[in-house]
Amino acid sequence: MKLGSMRDLLINELKDLYSAENQLVKALPRVAKKAATPELQDAINEHLEETRRQVERLEEIFAQLQEKPRGHKCKAMEGLLEEGKEIMQADAEDAVRDAALIAACQRVEHYEIAGYGCARTFAQRLGLDDIVELLEATLEEEKNADLKLTEIAEETINVEAEVAGA
């Protein structure tokens, strides 16, 4: 990895996000299927559609930068998804598993929020206004996905998980 300039740093962050988003496009259908609460299933599927558009947005950004998006694997997302798999394979009460899936999904969203927030700020420093706008669009989607998960957890799933197995 070469980090000789802030532009190199931005490209490196973007490659990491591109790998992370692509891993999510592959993994989220299985996560959605595993969710027992219809509201959670819908939220995950909606965010899957957003995630596909986020991949396209990153491709648009790389085209503008005249760079290639490939060549880096996000090991952090690989690890987060590995933990998610453990939850999906657990012998669990439905509501408790859903609460655990939300906790795992929120870790993913927070990782993305950190990545997009930093990439946006680097793009700002570099005066890349069109790219700032694209990154902020995705950043807002990640924040909204996180808020939506909190809402579903607090209003429904945590309430059911609390009494499960009692």
Judged by the rule CB under 5 A, the positions of this chain that interact with Fe ion are 16, 51, 54, 74, 76, 109, 112, 142, 145
- Pick between residue 74 and residue 96 the one whose CB is nearest to Fe ion: 74
C-alpha closest to that of 111 among 146, 61, 66, 71 = 146
Smallest separation (angstroms) from Fe ion to the CB of 51? 5
Name the binder of 19 from Zn ion, Fe ion, none, CB < 5-8 A by kind.
none
37 binds, among Fe ion, Zn ion, none (CB under 5 to 8 A by kind): none
Applying CB under 5 A, which of residues 10, 14, 20, 102 lies at the interface with Zn ion? Answer: 20
Helix (H, G, I), strand (E, B) or coil at 37: coil
Which tokens go with 87?
């939850």
* Partner from Zn ion, Fe ion, none binding residue 135, C-beta < 5-8 Å depending on class: none
Amino acid at 15: K
Q: Which amino acid is at 42?
A: D
Residue 2 DSSP SS3: coil
Nearer to Fe ion, 30 or 162 (CB): 30
